[in-house]
């Protein structure tokens, strides 16, 4: 039997475990052609129970268990939408039922370390749902600033909506290229921020600086 390691939303089973899995047709497609290890993404959370049943998993990473459990039982799973987490008191708005469901889904994705797409139509409150999720994440404890990349025309809207609905968030807007900002580096501007808002164009032009 073998332990697993997990990193960036993946669990990797070392050789002893993959020997067992390679004898079954279903997990075989998840074997790495380079290392021979079995790699399972959080997006394949449903496969986890099959691996447990096959006896592949001997030691389960606590973090991985928590993330997979959130995906299989959290908002968005069957019958779980009624358990949508409470919107933080710092959000100065009452979310409509569909907005509360969207917030709950974003919350689960955040806790599971996954990305997602909130694909509501324009005008239905995607910004409010996202601000609510950011406010909830900030209640979890100190963390790096969250980067919001938006069309140039709505950067100011994001800042004003944040001030209106989540005034407790420290929001910084970056609206100039690195050359025009001179000594004001992105890292320095973001140092005391909860949220950094900028445009697609500026991220493309100053990609290396934003990656830092």
Region of residue 123 (left: phi > 0; alpha: psi -120 to 50; beta: else):
left
Q: Give the model's pLDDT for residue 85.
A: 80
CA separation for the pair 190, 197 (Å, rounded): 10
- Total residues belonging to the chain: 212
Tell me which residues of the chain have a pLDDT lower than 50: 1-6, 15-27, 31, 78-82
Which two structure tokens, joined as six digits, stand for 137?
Answer: 């994440």
| Short-list 186, 180, 208, CA closest to 198 | 186
- Tell me the per-residue pLDDT of 156-183, one tens digit each, with 9 for 90 and over: 999 999 999 999 999 999 999 988 887 6
Do the beta carbons of residue 46 and residue 72 sit within 8 Å? yes
pLDDT value for 56:
56
Q: Is pTM beyond 0.75 here? A: no
pLDDT at 12: 53
Q: HSE on the CB side for 27, CA within 13 Å?
A: 30
Please give the pLDDT value at position 24. Answer: 46
Nearest to 190 by CA among 149, 144, 159: 144
Q: Are 174 and 186 in contact (CB under 8 A)?
A: yes
Burial 124-160 (b: 16+ CB within 10 A, else e): ebbbbbbbbbbbbbbeeeeeebbebebeeeebeebbe
pLDDT of residue 87: 93
């Amino acid at each position: 039997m073998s332990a697993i390691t997990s990193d960036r939303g993946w669990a990797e089973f070392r050789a002893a475990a993959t020997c067992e899995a390679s004898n079954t047709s279903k997990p075989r497609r998840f074997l790495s052609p380079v290392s021979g290890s079995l790699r399972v993404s959080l997006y394949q959370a449903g496969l986890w129970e099959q691996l447990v049943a096959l006896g592949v998993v001997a030691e389960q990473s606590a973090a991985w268990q928590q993330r997979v459990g959130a995906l299989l039982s959290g908002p968005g799973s069957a019958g779980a939408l009624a358990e949508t987490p409470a919107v933080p008191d710092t959000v100065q708005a009452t979310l409509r039922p569909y907005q509360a469901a969207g917030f709950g889904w974003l919350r689960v994705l955040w806790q599971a370390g996954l990305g997602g797409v909130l694909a509501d139509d324009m005008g239905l409150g995607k910004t409010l749902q996202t601000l609510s999720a950011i406010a909830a994440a900030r209640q979890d404890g100190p963390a790096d600033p969250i980067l919001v990349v938006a069309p140039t025309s709505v950067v100011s809207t994001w800042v004003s909506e944040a001030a209106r609905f989540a005034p407790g968030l420290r929001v910084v807007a970056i609206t100039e290229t690195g050359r025009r900002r001179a000594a004001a580096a992105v890292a320095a501007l973001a140092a005391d921020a909860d949220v950094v808002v900028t445009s697609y164009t500026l991220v493309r032009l100053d990609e290396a600086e934003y990656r830092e």
